[in-house]
Amino acid sequence: MTWTRERWTRIEAAFHEVAELPGPQRAERLVAVCGDDDDLRRQVQRLLAADASPADPLLDAGIGTALRGHDPLLGRRFGAWELVERIAEGGMGTVYRAERRDGDFEQEVAVKVLRLGLSSPGMRDRFARERQTLARIVHGNVARLLDGGTTEQGVPFIAMELVDGVPIDRFCDQQRASLRTRLALFAAVCRAVQFAHQNLVAHLDLKPANILVDAHGVPKLVDFGVAALLQAVGDGGGPGSVAVTRSRPLTPEYASPELLRGEPVGTGADVWSLGAVLYELLTGVRAFRPTRSDYELARVVSETDAARPSDAFADAAAAAERARCRAASGPELARLLRGDLDRIVQKALRRDVAARYASCRDLADDIERHLAGFPVAAREPSFGYRAHKFVVRHRLAVAAVTAVVVALVGGLWASLHLARVATRERDATAAARREAELARDAATVERDAAAAARAEAESARDRAEHEALHARVEAASSYVVAEFLGDTFLSGRFLADAGQRDAALATIRRKAEQVRRQHDDDVHLRANLLHALGRAALRVGAAADAEALLREAGDLRRDHFGADSLEYALSLGALGQFYYGEGRLPDALTALREAYRLQRECPHDVHTDIAMAANDLGAAERAAGNRDRARELHEEALALRRASDAPELVAESLNNLANCEVDPAAARRHLDEALQLRRQVFGADDPLTLQSASNLAACCLKLGQVDAARTLLVDVDRRALGLGALGHEARSAALRLLAWIELQQGDAAAAEAAIGAALALDRQRLGDGHAQLAAPLEIEAKVLERQARWPEACDRWAEVLRLRRGMLPADHRLLPLTSCSLGLARVRAGDVTAGLAELRAAAAALAGGAPADRVDAAVCLALGEEVAGEVEAAERRLRAALQTCRDEPAAAGRRGVVEGHLRELLRRRSERRR
């Protein structure tokens, strides 16, 4: 059929209009669309019928099926070898089984016909040289290179020892091999790779399909050096041995981050791939799942850690088949993997090459140590371990603070975890060596950051639409690098005394100057480094310097990337955290709300960043009393974090969400889960785990489970004491709650001792005047009231009020409510006039507020009036409050309290009359 363009356009439009509808509606629409154009209707009907007809194998599959069924190479000779059978198709070529045809003896080999044209004599030479290098590797576990050459057409091929085996993962599953068997087999593989490395050949394409196990159970590595060979020949340069640069890994799912990023790689890339293979052998699942694109995979691999192998058996039902292949149950396997094996795999899969096993021999050694029951090297905290911990740590600083249930919170940047690193480092005997190491690492990091930023600048120049996203994500990762730089050169050592702090601050200032001078043409890098220095300043307690540096970095990012960029959002987030930590809540809210808005509205899919923005804003909103908004934000953060499989962050969100729950039973569920997660991730003695236990205890109190709460808190107190300065925050939280329990149970002396100890710890930790002191001070005031020590109670309430005025908005309900407490204490302390004035002002401020708050204010004022002798007024006020309790459901809960006060008032009045 042939039509004019106009006619075809018509037919096509009609076709689409009808074809999009479900079957039954088509006929009617067809008539409507075609009107009286019968020919049009017929044409469209024919197309519709063809559209519905069964698939045409040739048309739908394309010519490839026909071509693939036909391999013209079979039967042809490559050198002395005749190709007999096609075995496999790979990224680098096709593998055939081939037989020797020119001699007296029969020999079977694998011939790999490479997908590479060798058109110039130079390329042929390089190919020949590479082959000679590979031919040197003679090892029982490596398939040997036997021959190689090029056909007349210039098609290169290599002949290798033919391994009649199956891929190692399939072999192990077929044999139902136990973990021990798998580990022993794998260790032999590591030794073989090590041997090749010593001969200056890297594999660069290690994966189960390239590790075959023959009928005798002997593993053989195939394709050794072929990746490097292809690269060296194809790119026309470089030795094809240990260090090569590849533009594209052959098998992305097993490729190391540096290989995926196209950076120069060395033997460390093979260590990574072995780690990925080991992960799969142990668990039956991939360490990193295939993604839609190499780019996405590179991002995932560069920014996330593989899950722990033991987690792969968490879901026993889903893991049943994989467990059966390992001759054990899921829970057994999870137990066997937890600990050493988790650590060994994770150490092989460190994103930073320097943090990985230095060689395949080290990896093999560790596996064999584990098999023999000795402690493994992977347990030692390496630089990479600390580097990884840093990223987690700076998130945990947020968790440490938002976790406090009983009171308003602050002090976002408590340096607990940093101090812990410091303690460990002090303990280390080889302190000097470590310092040298740190200096070297810091230099490496700095160089990497500079290189990353340069690469970024290049890529930013030509930004196509979806490349903008790429650049942004890169910016985010170089942000992490820069942050790390700040953390590294501080590394806790400077915090020991004031002199060292001053020295650190001087270093920071000098570095900032240097950054402004040296990177003045590269705004992006300058901003990242200044930002990192700002964070460093925060660590040494130089708030003014920190704020100035963070703002400078933020301004640079805003001017360079725009006020609606993700880069600026990151700065706003950090500034918001800073303000929050400083107790400057209004500033914190402004910054964090904007950061959150940008994270939500800018198109990107870095869910961890969105979750972080939601979490931090949630903490601030809650501190500002916007509990419902806070809950929404924490629910959002929790959902995102659950999806990204980060237990420590999930625990943080659970804690924060619990703080926002009105229903204590719901809060308790969150807190139970959080505590369980933290015990798993951090152990029972970690400050964060203790924080969770305290929170759970507070929740138990609300539910009236006093004994459960007390048990938890006594345990927290004991464990926190063992942590020294690191346990101060957890200990003070526990003591505060214990004080509250004692107070409720009438033991004022015990309560006073507990809250006194808590306050001492808090003052030491936070300094006088910190917003976070309000909560323990309030409890102390109540303890003093219980003992009728009114003037002291007045002092405490006044301090609480002052602190709250500093952190809450002027119209916040908590301010007049605190005034009520202060006013009443003043009246009772004898300062009746001032006290009553304070009470009246507070009651007036609450007049339009929530019924429950109005009732509370009325009770305080009535009690004050009674002391002042205005008993009738007090009685009227209490009766009015009682009526409010009856009328307003929101105040119904106060009814019993008001009735009690009224009864007491009447009793006292009749006593006085008598």
Partner 1 sequence: MARRVMTEPNRQPDTNRQEPSDALTIGALYDEIRRLARSQMRRERPDHTLPPTALANEAYLRLFGSAPPNFTSGAEFLAAAVTTLRRILVEHGRRRLRQKRGGGAARAAIDTDELPAAATDDRVLALDEALQRLAEFDPGKARLVELRFFGGLSVDEAATVLDVSPRTAARDWRVARAFLRNELGAEAVGDDVDA
H or E segment at 836?
Answer: helix 832-845
* Residue 910 binds partner 1, judged by CB under 8 A: no
The footprint of partner 1 on this chain (CB under 8 A) covers a number of residues equal to 54
CA distance linking residue 602 with residue 392, whole number of Å? 25
- Cα distances (Å, whole numbers) of residue 660 to 261, 317, 494, 622: 42, 34, 37, 7
The 3 state secondary structure assigned to 566-581 is: HHHHHHHHHHHHHHHH
CB-nearer residue toward partner 1: 59 or 215: 59
Q: Does 510 bind partner 1 (CB under 8 A)?
A: no
The runs of H, that is alpha helices, within 311-464 are 320-324, 330-337, 340-348, 360-372, 383-402, 416-427, 431-461
Give the nearest distance from C-beta 643 to partner 1 in angstroms.
Answer: 25
Helix (H) or strand (E) holding 639: helix 627-643
**What is the bridge-based pairing of β-strands 156-161 and 145-150?**
antiparallel
- Which residues have CB under 8 Å from 18's CB, separation 6+? 26, 29, 30, 33, 44, 48
SS3 95: strand
Question: Does 372 contact partner 1 by CB under 8 A?
Answer: no
* Position 46 contacts partner 1 (CB under 8 A): yes
- Considering only residues 294-313, where is the footprint of partner 1 by CB under 8 A? 294-295
| Distance of alpha carbon 161 from alpha carbon 81, whole angstroms | 13
C-beta of 154 vs 375, nearer to partner 1: 154
Among 28, 37, 39, 51, binds partner 1 (CB under 8 A): 51
Task: Determine which residue in the list 3, 564, 605, 745 makes contact with partner 1, applying CB under 8 A.
Answer: 3
56 lies in the site for partner 1, by CB under 8 A: yes
Chain positions 443 to 462 lying near partner 1, rule: CB under 8 A, are 459, 462
Q: Closer to partner 1 at the Cβ: 155 or 837?
A: 155
Query: Could you say which of 22, 24, 36, 60 contacts partner 1 (CB under 8 A)?
Result: 60
**Least distance in Å: CB of 739 to partner 1?**
59
Structure tokens at 216: 């005798």
Nearest to 592 by CA among 408, 398, 772: 398
Decide whether 19 or 873 has the Cβ nearer to partner 1. Answer: 19
Q: In what order do the strands lie in the sheet with 219-221?
A: 165-167, 211-214, 219-221
| Shortest separation between residue 323's beta carbon and partner 1, angstroms | 35
Q: Does 154 bind partner 1 (CB under 8 A)?
A: yes
CA distance 64 to 228: 29
Smallest gap, in angstroms, from Cβ of residue 15 to partner 1?
A: 5
- In three-state secondary structure terms, 884 is helix
Tokens linked to 768: 């006088």
- Binding-site member from 80, 135, 155, 392 for partner 1 (CB under 8 A): 155
Helix (H) or strand (E) holding 114: strand 108-114
Site for partner 1 in 724-743 (CB under 8 A): none
Closer CB to partner 1, residue 73 or residue 285? 73
3-state helix, strand, coil in the chain (%, to 5): 70, 5, 25
Q: Classify each residue of 315-329 as buried b or exposed e, where b means 16 or more C-beta atoms within 10 Å of its C-beta.
A: eeeebeebbebbebe
- Indicate which single residue of 18, 30, 34, 47 sits in contact with partner 1 (rule: CB under 8 A): 47
The correct pick among 29, 76, 551, 597 for binding partner 1 (CB under 8 A) is: 76
Please tell me whether residue 293 binds partner 1 under the rule CB under 8 A.
yes
Nearest distance from residue 405's CB to partner 1, in Å? 46
* Separation between Cα atoms, residue 172 and residue 328, nearest integer Å: 13
Nearer to partner 1, 297 or 781 (CB): 297
Task: Give least dist CB 60 to partner 1, A.
Answer: 7
Beta carbon nearer to partner 1, 299 or 678 = 299
Query: Among 12, 303, 555, 875, which residue sits at the site for partner 1 (rule: CB under 8 A)?
Result: 12
Q: With binding defined as CB under 8 A, does residue 643 bind partner 1?
A: no
Instruction: Record the tokens describing residue 226, joined without a space.
Output: 């072929």
Consecutive H or E run containing 205: none
| Cβ proximity to partner 1, 174 vs 459, nearer residue | 459
642 class by beta-carbon count within 10 Å (0-12 exposed, 13-18 middle, 19+ buried): middle
- Smallest distance from the beta carbon of 460 to partner 1, in angstroms? 12
Candidate residues 104, 153, 430, 707; the one interacting with partner 1 per rule CB under 8 A: 153
For residues 186-245, which are near partner 1 according to CB under 8 A? 234
State the minimum distance, in angstroms, from the CB of residue 81 to partner 1. 16
- For the chain, count helices (H), then strands (E): 40, 11
The site string for partner 1 over 311-350 (x = CB under 8 A, - otherwise) reads ----------------------------------------
C-beta of 63: minimal distance to partner 1 in Å?
A: 6
- Candidate residues 26, 29, 86, 115; the one interacting with partner 1 per rule CB under 8 A: 115
Secondary structure (3-state) at 146: strand
Separation CA 203–CA 253 (nearest Å): 15
Q: Which is nearer to partner 1, 156 or 835 (CB)?
A: 156
Q: Which residue in the set 19, 200, 460, 897 belongs to the binding site for partner 1 (CB under 8 A)?
A: 19
Is 464 a binding residue for partner 1 by CB under 8 A? The answer is: yes
Structure tokens at 81: 């070898």
Q: Tell me how many degrees the CA angle 265-266-268 measures, rounded to the nearest 5.
A: 105
Among 116, 222, 699, 794, binds partner 1 (CB under 8 A): 116
The nearer residue to partner 1, 250 or 532, going by C-beta atoms, is: 250
Residue 4 interacts with partner 1 (CB under 8 A): yes or no: yes
The one segment of 293-301, 635-643, 677-685, 846-854 that binds partner 1 by CB under 8 A: 293-301
Buried b (16+ CB within 10 A) or exposed e, 874-890: bbebbeebbebbeeeee
Residues in the chain: 914
Where do contacts with partner 1 occur on this chain (CB under 8 A)? 1-5, 7-8, 12, 15-16, 19, 46-51, 53, 56, 58-60, 62-64, 66-73, 76, 115-119, 123, 153-155, 234, 248, 293-295, 459, 462, 464, 466-467, 470
